[in-house]
Structure 1
Amino acid sequence: MPTVRLFASGLLSAVLAGCGGLHRDAVPAGQPAGCPRQTAAALIANQDALGPSSATPELECALGFVRGSDDPVLRRSSLGSRLCLHLAERDSDPAERERFAWEGVKLAETALAQGGKDDGAVHYYLAANLGLAVRDDMTVAMANLHRLEDEFEAAVRLSPDVDDGGPLRLLGMLYLKAPPWPAGIGDGDKALDLLQRAVDKHPAHPLNHLFYAQALWEVNGEGRRVKEEMAAGMKLLESGHWGYNKKPWKQEFADLREEIGEPVR
């Protein structure tokens, strides 16, 4: 499952959808050529198979179907937003990545409006796409910290286990990296609590260990425990099937090793 990094070059990656002055190019509607015939029922039934190990054309075909569907179950689900996030994360073109992420925001907003407000996954992928769409825009991010907090809090309340603890993981990182009061919502104690919960509930996900290690380092400077969590996470990353996520996640581990003065392997 996808995991967005909320910060780039130290800048908070959060924004209120629809904020005036933002560039929100639409991704062209419709399916790519050569896609297999699908039905809404079949796509919904098999949606868990669409993830970081899926081929890009498979994700594009599924997203194309969602774009053109008027099926109410599909429209109020998190699937379209999740597909956009997968595609945005693996696109090397910044402009294309931003367009996919904004489409993910729009699809999640549509899902909320059509009855998906009680689905924590919709809130989660809305916030994750927002962070990716404007990850380098600190001014807009700082003006909209509470929107991102609200969406992740809704996801934690409704569906804390989605994406192997993704809402716990990303809300924890938001509190870790955001400026503290009065400038922002940053709170090291909240970050530690959420990230420890992510590790305790979902110990098989490598980023839960990595992000908890980062919080331990930044809040408490706990060298031994930091190294233990990093080792546990790296072992999971090396032995698991993480698809397109594996390479960027390895870089995340390398970045923290460099930060704490550990040799990069």
Structure 2
Amino acid sequence: MRTVGLLAAGILPVVLAGCGGLHRDGVPAGQPVGCPRLTAAALSASQDSLGPSSETPELECALDFLRGSDDPALRRSSLGSRLCLHLAERNSDPSERERFAWEGVKLAEAALAQGGKDDGAVHYYLAANLGLAVRDDMTAAMANLHRLEDEFKAAVKLSPDFDDGGPQRLLGMLYLKAPAWPAGIGDGDKALDLLGHAVEKHPGHPLNHLFYAQALWEVNGESEGGRVKEEMAAGWKLLESGSWGYNKKPWKQEFADLREEIGEPAR
């Protein structure tokens, strides 16, 4: 399952940027129309197929069913927060994007309270949604740095290989982009360790290579120029040849942004 895309690339790099209002109520969007008849058993069995390659109405229908379900297995799983994240990432309306993200946070919190504390994916999607929800509010972003760190660390401890090393990938980017002590938790060495390990363990994910290249560039500068370009080339090849669904377009933009930063010609 390939998750946390756009915003996987975009969440943490910009979590401290901008300034705007938040919609913390997580108000659900209107009920989708034309949804197929779902059951808890059917949704549970098919949940791994719901991801970047799913059409938006399919995700909306699954989320709408889950909102009204009292099935304990679904309620303590990461599915609700994952659906919210995908829908938030795809939404061009900032207000609606924040609402989906906050709903994802609340669904993950509810899953933890109902027995999901040992599920690394729940911690992972809680942090991913939280990062997206606060990314346009500097004050909220700074106030949540330690919570983001704690949730990603829990995900790394419980499920380090989930989403092709996603917990290490996003925790590494949090350390790379956050302000350094005493203002924040930023730590370039920790970022390099985590992102290097993600590349080593999961070389098939393009963002592992891209984020490691970014860390090499930001921490060590031009002395790592050769390795930076090698990692970018490896990640780009995976992105071009793989099936990444709705994630592909925003991830290409992330590559383009780093190319511009290091002065490499655009593709």
Measure the CA separation in 2 of the matches of 1:142 and 1:243.
32
Per-residue CA distance 1:101-138 (angstroms, 9 max, x = gap)? 01000100000000000000000000000011111211
- Give the superposition deviation at 1:34: 1.2
- For residues 182 and 112 of structure 1, what CA distance do their matches in structure 2 show? 31
The one-letter code of the counterpart of 1:231 is A
Question: Where does the alignment leave 5 or more consecutive residues of structure 2 unmatched?
Answer: none
Matches within 5 A, 1:1-265: 1-3=3-5, 4=8, 5-7=10-12, 11=16, 23-28=23-28, 31-221=31-221, 222-265=224-267
CA positional deviation for 1:93: 0.9
Give the RMSD, CA atoms, in angstroms. 1.6
**Partners of 1:223 and 1:232 in 2: CA distance:** 14
Q: Distance in 2 between matches of 1:78 and 1:10?
A: 22
How much has 1:153 moved relative to structure 2? 0.1
Q: TM-score, normalised by structure 2?
A: 0.93
| CA contact 1:52–1:242 (8 Å) conserved in 2 | yes
Aligned 8 A contact 2:28 2:100 in 1: no
Match of 1:28, SS? coil
Q: Distance in 1 between matches of 2:167 and 2:14?
A: 22
Paired amino acid for 2:46: N
* Maintained 8 Å contact 1:31/1:65: no
Answer yes or no: is the 8 Å Cα contact 2:4–2:128 preserved in 1. no
> How many positions carry a matched residue from both structures?
258
Q: Is the 8 A contact 1:59 1:87 kept in 2?
A: yes
The structural deviation recorded for 1:25 is: 3.3
The offset of 1:141, in angstroms, is 1.3
Q: Which amino acid aligns with 1:223?
A: G
Q: Which amino acid aligns with 1:226?
A: V
Separation in 1 of the partners of 2:143 and 2:27? 26
Q: Please report how far the alpha carbon of residue 160 of structure 1 lies from its aligned counterpart in structure 2 after TM superposition.
A: 1.1
SS in 2 for 1:179: coil
Contact residue 11 and residue 135 of structure 2 kept, 8 A: yes
Q: C-alpha separation between the residues in 2 aligned to 1:86 and 1:165?
A: 18
After superposition, the C-alpha distances for 1:3-37 in whole angstroms (9 at most, x for unaligned) are 32234657269xxxxxxx95313333784221111
- Using the TM superposition, name which of 4-13 and 209-218 deviates more: 4-13
SS in 1 for 2:243: coil
Aligned counterparts of 2:220 and 2:58: Cα–Cα separation in 1: 44
Which whole-Å CA distance do the structure 2 matches of 1:22 and 1:247 have between them?
26
Matched letter for residue 234 of structure 1:
W
Q: Secondary structure at the match of 2:258?
A: helix
| Amino acid aligned to 2:179 | P
Q: Give aligned-pair identity as a percent.
A: 85
